[in-house]
């Protein structure tokens, strides 16, 4: 039985949340534009599926049970991810007729941009954003070719012909599964040890890999990878399953570190930071929606 069969559909989760917020099934049904019996039946089917009763029904409304409150909170997390998906997808869809065209490197497009787009949507609901993802070179090319209004890159320097501003920092962290021997170390890893260790990495050309290679260049350079995988999440999955250590963006492993599914291993005497920058063609200071988006990405005071 696959995961999708054990978790209710997104529509059901949305309904669940609406019922919890509304305190009534009929109210939630009206909000979502479906009939009351449809809502009632769908909630019931969720309860059947989960084997837990989620709401105490009464003629005066429906209140979440203890389990129901918990389940709706977990459901909200799924819907938040869905919201990010939607924001990103909408930007991809609007490739043609858009007013704000953003070009971003993969890590930023993957982990940060969807959140910014959600924020932008609440601030400027009518701004259509389009998104192009690629490496730093591609971002620069899009900007210089007039195909994008604002770019985001992670890297050591601003590409030629562009101006930019640092909007944040990304730290690369060495991560292992809890069962890995490194998790029991009481001393920090040395750069030499790290350089000599086969790692699970993304394919050649990924920004992470370049930064890592540069940082370890004077310690013997990067060892031959243990595994080369095509997406960050595939790398994470491999690490979690115990295949070996990896070095990944802190952005990418935040959740896993909190949940302790991955553990960070300290490295001594080496800087694995890189700046995240917003960039634009020299002279073309961002204005309008681009300026708005830029301001959303700035760090808090």
Partner DNA sequence: TGAGGCCATAACCTGAATGTATGACCGATG
Partner DNA sequence: CATCGGTCATACATTCAGGTTATGGCCTCA
What is the binding site for DNA (CB under 7 A)?
9, 11-12, 24-27, 29, 33-45, 57-62
Nearer to DNA, 19 or 109 (CB): 19
Determine which residue in the list 50, 196, 214, 227 makes contact with its own copies, applying CB under 8 A. 50
Examine residue 20 and tell whether it contacts its own copies (CB under 8 A). yes
Torsion, Cα 188 192 198 202, to 10 degrees, reads 80
**Angle between the N-to-C axes of helices 10-22 and 36-50, in degrees from 0 to 180, rounded to the nearest 10:** 110
Contact mark string toward its own copies, 128..167, x via CB under 8 A: ---xxxx---------------------------------
Examine residue 45 and tell whether it contacts its own copies (CB under 8 A). no
Residues contacting its own copies: total by CB under 8 A: 93
Nearer to its own copies, 134 or 164 (CB): 134
Nearer to DNA, 33 or 283 (CB): 33
130 phi, psi to nearest 5 deg = -115, 155
| Binding to its own copies, residues 201-240 (CB under 8 A) | 230-234, 240
Determine which residue in the list 9, 147, 203, 204 makes contact with its own copies, applying CB under 8 A. 9
108 phi, psi to nearest 5 deg = -70, -45
38 binds, among DNA, its own copies, none (CB under 5 to 8 A by kind): DNA
Cβ at position 5, least distance to DNA in Å = 10
Cβ at position 260, least distance to its own copies in Å = 5
Determine which residue in the list 43, 84, 212, 215 makes contact with its own copies, applying CB under 8 A. 84
240 binds, among DNA, its own copies, none (CB under 5 to 8 A by kind): its own copies
Nearer to its own copies, 10 or 217 (CB): 10
Cβ at position 7, least distance to its own copies in Å = 5
- Gap between the Cα atoms of 13 and 65, Å rounded: 16
Q: Are 256 and 262 in contact (CB under 8 A)?
A: yes
- Gap between the Cα atoms of 288 and 128, Å rounded: 13
226 binds, among its own copies, DNA, none (CB under 5 to 8 A by kind): none
51 binds, among DNA, its own copies, none (CB under 5 to 8 A by kind): its own copies
- Gap between the Cα atoms of 247 and 175, Å rounded: 6
Structure-token pair, residue 49: 């599926």
Determine which residue in the list 48, 74, 203, 221 makes contact with its own copies, applying CB under 8 A. 74
């Amino acid at each position: 039985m696959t995961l999708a069969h054990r978790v209710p559909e997104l529509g059901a989760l949305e309904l669940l949340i609406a019922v919890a917020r509304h305190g009534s099934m009929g109210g939630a049904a009206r909000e979502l534009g479906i009939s009351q019996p449809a809502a009632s039946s769908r909630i019931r089917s969720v309860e059947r599926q989960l084997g837990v009763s989620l709401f105490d029904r009464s003629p005066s409304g429906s209140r979440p049970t203890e389990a129901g409150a918990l389940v709706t909170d977990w459901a909200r997390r799924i819907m938040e991810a869905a919201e990010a998906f939607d924001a990103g997808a909408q930007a991809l869809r609007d490739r043609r007729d858009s007013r704000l065209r953003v070009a971003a490197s993969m890590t930023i497009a993957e982990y940060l941009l969807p959140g910014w787009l959600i924020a932008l949507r609440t601030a400027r609901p009518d701004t259509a954003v389009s998104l192009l993802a690629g490496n730093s070179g591609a971002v620069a090319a899009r900007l210089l070719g007039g195909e994008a209004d604002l770019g985001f890159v992670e890297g050591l320097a601003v590409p030629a012909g562009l101006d930019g501003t640092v909007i944040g920092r990304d730290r690369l962290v060495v991560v292992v599964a809890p069962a890995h021997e490194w998790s029991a170390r009481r001393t920090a890893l040395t750069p030499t040890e790290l350089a000599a260790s086969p790692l699970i990495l993304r394919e050649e050309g990924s920004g992470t890999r370049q930064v890592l290679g540069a940082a370890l260049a004077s310690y013997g350079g990067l060892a031959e990878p243990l595994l080369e995988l095509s997406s960050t999440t595939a790398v994470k999955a491999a690490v979690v399953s115990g295949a070996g250590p990896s070095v990944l963006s802190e952005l990418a492993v935040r959740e896993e570190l909190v949940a302790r599914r991955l553990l960070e291993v300290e490295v001594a005497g080496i800087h694995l930071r890189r700046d995240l920058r917003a960039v634009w063609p020299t002279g073309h200071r961002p204005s309008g929606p681009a300026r708005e988006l830029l301001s959303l990405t700035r760090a808090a005071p």
